[in-house]
Chain A
Amino acid sequence: MTSYTTEIIDDGKMLINMGPQHPSTHGVINFLVETDGEVIDRAIPEIGYLHRGIEKIGEMVPYPGFMPYTDRVDYLAAMFANESYAMAVEKLLGLELPRRARYLRVIACELNRLASHLVGTGCMPMDLGAFTPFTHWVRERETANDLTEELCGARLTYNYLRIGGVSQDLPVGFDKRLLQYLDHIEPIIPEFNRLITGNEIFVKRLANVVPVTGEEAIAYGLVGPNLRASGVDWDLRRDLPYSAYGEMDFEVPIGKGVRGVVGDCYDRFVVRIEEMTQSIRILRQAVEGLPEGELTCKVPKKIKPPAGTDAFARTESARGELGCYLLADGTDKPARVRFRTGSFAAMCIIEDKSPGLMIADLVAFIASIDVVAPEIDR
């Protein structure tokens, strides 16, 4: 940070720290913003500000013991980090999951995606000054959290998945309550759209703001909703199906430039809203078609993959592809753990896209790419 400061102060522009104590940097993020008061010359995200060394911890704990740590990768969508890690270990061991476990994973993950998008799309209007939609979405998220709590006893850091399956079966009556919740939230999404998505000020603030073209999105390695908003039709759940997604019927919403150009902030917002509808659709199918069977497959007592083997598994997280790389060294602990996260890639595009934006646009941009601070740095 110091080197940046001296380097930029020389050209006589005003420098300002945005974050960590700033309402629109979601979590502990720090930007160094060079501005004339309104128009930004450069916004430099400080990547590494919230580095906690989760990957290093992974090298020091046995394979199953790392699962709770993965929850801390992305606190809004912890289930996906669970799943990425579990899938990577399963790949190392060559495990085949029972069908019921796959379905339960889909239920857990999609419920989590719904909860995560509720926060993401709720924060967007909040960062533009409209507080009300956020409170409504948090109200809805509460039920989603309650359901997850029933499922695994936790509301934020789930630790629900296990290597080779899931930790617990659905509680009694869970499917009924989940369907009830889905019936409840489905008509609320149009209500939300009426309240905020179609709001003229909202559209004017987001449409045409910071468009990211498809080529750019691929070049910067954007993933998930951010990539799809740029018009790139790519979703792991459909294109490289894992767990039970191959058996699900759903659509992949992509950015169409409804009110501006493809890939603008508005598209990124709309894609997330549409993904919520699809999540509801998937959840319905998963609950209704839940097969009977085991919760876990046969997992060796001591997990010791042979030295030198490695595995990379990726899931479609709420923030895009969440990859987990594992390198085994023959002991019960991995030699190397590495996460490839969506927020990290999204963070990297900010600096190059920032020149010429206004402070308000930067806020909208950060909100639209839906970064979560701990996921940037792990």
Chain B
Amino acid sequence: MLQSHLPLFLVLVVALGLGVFILVVSSLVGPKRPSAVKADAFECGNPPSGYARERFGVKFYLVAILFLVFDIEAVFIYPWAIVFSDSTRGAGTLSPLLVVVEMVVFVGILMIGLAYAWRKGALEWGPEHGKGLETTTAGH
């Protein structure tokens, strides 16, 4: 197990080393002409108005929470997939149908959660275009 991960760490170390090496080379050969304007945060050529870390749309955090719920479930389904696969080969002690039913119940609960989030409007972003608009034409 550990032995199979060893090459992985090696690749990681080499990749990291390569990255550091290139950046060191870059810092050695690259020009250094700092100026106050150059080191300003970019705001389309204007001096920054106010700070960047201000009040921000809460929807992004909502997505993060939804993700946490669903991704953990998704990861949970992976081991189950192996169990199911084994059971179809007769390797496990469980019958395939039972395994499927268990997952149907599990995903069913998950889907109720999704439906709830949907109904609550957690999946709505921004204005609904074209709602409640009338088609109007005016002559001159």
Contacts and interface: CB of A to CB of B under 8 A. Distances in A.
A–B proximity contact (CB within 8 A) = yes
Interface of A: 5, 9, 12-22, 25, 30, 32, 36-39, 207-209, 211, 213-215, 217-218, 230-234, 257, 260-264, 356-358, 361
A10 to B, nearest CB: 11
B138 A13 contact: no
Interface string B27-51: 0000000000000001111101110
Contacts, number: 100
Contacts of B133: 208, 211, 261
A223 to B, nearest CB: 12
B46 to A, nearest CB: 4
26 contacts: A12-B54, A13-B54, A14-B52, A16-B49, A17-B43, A17-B45, A17-B49, A19-B45, A21-B42, A21-B45, A36-B57, A37-B56, A37-B57, A39-B127, A208-B133, A211-B130, A214-B138, A230-B138, A231-B137, A231-B138, A232-B138, A232-B139, A261-B133, A261-B136, A356-B127, A358-B126
A14 B50 contact: yes
A13 B125 contact: no
A9 B48 CA distance: 13
A257 B43 contact: no
Contact of A208 (B44, B130, B137, B139): B130
A366 B67 CA distance: 34
Interface in B43-100: 43-46, 48-50, 52, 54-57, 59-60
Given A19-B45, A262-B136, 10 more contacts: A5-B50, A9-B49, A13-B54, A15-B50, A21-B44, A38-B59, A38-B125, A232-B138, A234-B140, A261-B133
* Chain B interface residue number, banded: 20 to 34
Contacts of B4: none
A120 to B, nearest CB: 22
A38 B59 CA distance: 9
Nearest to B46: A17
Q: Which interface residue of A13, A262, A264 has the most chain B CB atoms within 10 A? A: A262
Interface in B88-140: 125-127, 129-130, 133-140
A257 B135 contact: yes
